[in-house]
Chain A
Amino acid sequence: MAKVRVLVAKPGLDGHDRGAKVVARALRDAGFEVIYTGLRQTPEQIAEAALQEDVNVVAMSILSGAHPHLFPKVVNLIREKGMDDVLIIGGGVIPETDIPALKEAGIAEVFTPGTPTGDIVDFIKANVK
């Protein structure tokens, strides 16, 4: 089976990328191909990168509180580009009460502070198509 390709992305203006970088490295160490977008990506840029890089997974991180706006926007753009099978997950400082709406919008799982990186690896392995 081909290696699973993951795009780790930072949507919005938030500069906190400790988590994104740690997760990116942990996914790489777990055997995935990982591409990290760097900071300040618009939803359009992320969807385009997902298409160009032909990824199986998009993993986004936001700590600024802009997730209710930005996460669903990225999901819609990715689906509009016909990437129906791409698994989209998110993480960051995200209050529990926001999670049902994000899942409704197409975020497969939301990982909050304190999550072991192994949980993210396991989730991807179990759910990637």
Chain B
Amino acid sequence: MSNEKIQAGLDKYNASVEKATAKFPERPNLPEQRLYTPLDIKDTDYADEIGFPGMYPYTRGVQPTMYRGRFWTMRMYAGFSTAAESNKRYRYLIESGATGLSCAFDLPTQIGYDSDDPISEGEVGKVGVAIDSLADMEVLFDQIDLGKVSTSMTINAPASVLLSMYIAVAEKQGVPADQLKGTIQNDILKEYAARGTYIFPPRPSMRLITNIFEYCSKNVPKWNTISISGYHIREAGSTASQEIAFTIADGIAYCEAAIKAGLHIDDFAGRLSFFWNAHNNVLEEVAKFRASRRVWAKVMKERFHAEKPKSMMLRVHTQTAGSMLTAQQPNNNIIRVALQTAAAVMGGTQSLHTNSRDEALALPTEESVMIALRTQQIVAYESGLADVIDPLAGSYYVEALTNKIEKEAWEYIKKIDEIGGAVAAIEKGYIQKEIQDSAYKWQMDVESGAKTIVGVNKFQIEEEPPKGLLKVDASVGVAQCKRLADMKAKRDNDAVKSALADLKKACQDENENLMPHILNAVRTYATLGEICGVMREVFGEYEAHVNL
């Protein structure tokens, strides 16, 4: 059918509908158009913009056969209480068919404080596992073969220290560093913008990150050295376009920092990975995944002149949207997570964490985690969504939406370039303000009823308080502090002192790669707080300024 014929048909259709909508107005907050046709993608060149899986610009996926080869990695984020408790949960997940580990650390660990620091009071073991030294890490991975499992660690400001601990545990297991597989989040820019677990100011933080890129490219080549994260930007309230735009802008900043430090783009870009949110609007999310791959491929090829295909591939881990879980009628969250899983899979994710139904209330129970993992397995094995590659390609709506999100992302990236890049845009509070404005708009839409959240502002019922939630006992903190004191009494304190003095000297020399020095300190059982304390002394701490 020619475009003229389609246009004529569309005009006729629109005229007929106009009469109807006078009588039956449509719902608010819908896409601009009610119907998409070939006319909406007539300017999209299939070969240039959509293409084939495993080929530039990777709109249809980064691997040639996608899930027909193997499913995505089903990676459940877990960790709470002590290393021994979390080790039990990890082994339970592996026995249940999880194919990768994902470590959640408690807040003191994420911010570089030991469990016995006064600031850690009340927080030890709460949102993740408490790790004070190599001794805890040894317990965390007890009876788990680090040569076989791939491990993702949600750790940012002190990523260098936790990665060093992982390498040191592997050494003790007899697994060489070049066999280790996994990811550290290591994405400090989104901590300033959205997540909040920063320690040092941007400059030394960027140095630590490029030190890790360099060290791993030589010594831990299978490790994903960063997971550039839109997840938390979205959780903080951004839109889908903002999520990928701000994250890719962060990615550009990391590449520029590494190149400035003397690295070649193709030496590290293949180990960069991303982290997206799978939100409620299924088709918008699928379009977001597709658009993000296209934007990143173009950035790498056109802006950084990468040559290796691997450098241009946006590989992504996904987590379903925690902020979309409701405390009201929590079993409904199972359905939300199933739809979000469908979006991530049709979007072509490389790995996925599915949230549990009770996470708007507390950390998940074992039973809830099992349902969340089974949701992935049902989508994989029963739904048919993973049977062909990029199944929504060619949908007039999804292709048009992919184009729209890509266009909006480029506009933001241009704006951030004009401000002076992501670091400057964060320092000026631009990115934070954009996210806050979107979060506020969302909340107002929910309160006005323009947006419906089932069980929250519509279809509410009287409910009994939920029973059987997981509770981390306050005694965990006491026990962990005792463990730490016992460990300190047993270690060689002279060796610790000298390793920390050596690290301090290295921090003061900008040309020194800090990784070998941190690894040495870790091996002496210097604690996370001691190591980060040395870095705090030299680097100082970041101070945030908030514009409401």
Contacts and interface: CB of A to CB of B under 8 A. Distances in A.
Nearest to B453: A114
A69 B465 contact: no
A53 B237 CA distance: 29
Contact of B123 (A16, A18, A34, A66): A66
Interface in A78-129: 93, 95-97, 112-114, 116-118
Contacts of B446: 116
B548 A95 contact: no
Contacts of B235: 16, 18
B359 to A, nearest CB: 8
Interface stretch (B240-248, B342-350, B466-474, B531-539): B466-474
A18 B441 CA distance: 12
Contact of B465 (A14, A28, A38, A96): A96
Which interface residue of B110, B362, B446 has the most chain A CB atoms within 10 A? Answer: B362
A12 B107 contact: yes
B236 interface: yes
A38 B544 contact: yes
Contact of A22 (B107, B439, B471, B545): B439
A21 B111 contact: no
Interface in A1-32: 12-18, 21-22, 24-26, 28
Nearest to B446: A116
B443 interface: yes
B548 A25 contact: yes
Contacts of B439: 18, 21-22
- DSSP class of A's interface residues: helix, strand, loop or mixed? loop
Given A95-B361, A97-B465, A65 B472 contact: yes
A13, A18, A64, most chain B CB atoms within 10 A: A13
Contacts of B126: 64-66
Interface size band for B: 35 or more
A44 to B, nearest CB: 10
A39 B436 CA distance: 15
Interface in B126-154: 126-127
Nearest to B323: A18
**What is the size category of the interface that chain A forms with chain B?**
35 or more
B544 A39 contact: yes
Nearest to A8: B548
A14 B107 contact: yes
Nearest to A17: B196
Which one of B362, B447, B456, B548 has the highest number of Cβ atoms from chain A below 10 Å of its Cβ?
B548
Interface string A34-47: 10101110100000
B362 A95 contact: yes
Most-contacted residue by chain B among A12, A64, A65, A66 (CB, 10 A): A65
Contacts of A93: 327, 360-362
A51 interface: no
A113 B443 contact: no
Q: Which of B107, B119, B323, B360 has the most CB of A within 10 A?
A: B107
Contacts of A118: 447
B236 A69 contact: no
B195 interface: yes
A24 B362 contact: no
B447 A15 contact: no
A70 interface: yes
Interface of B: 107-108, 110-111, 113, 119-123, 126-127, 191, 195-197, 235-237, 323, 326-328, 360-363, 436, 439-440, 443, 446-447, 453, 456-457, 465-466, 469, 471-472, 474, 544-546, 548
12 contacts: A13-B113, A13-B120, A13-B123, A16-B235, A18-B237, A22-B237, A22-B439, A65-B363, A66-B126, A68-B474, A69-B122, A116-B446
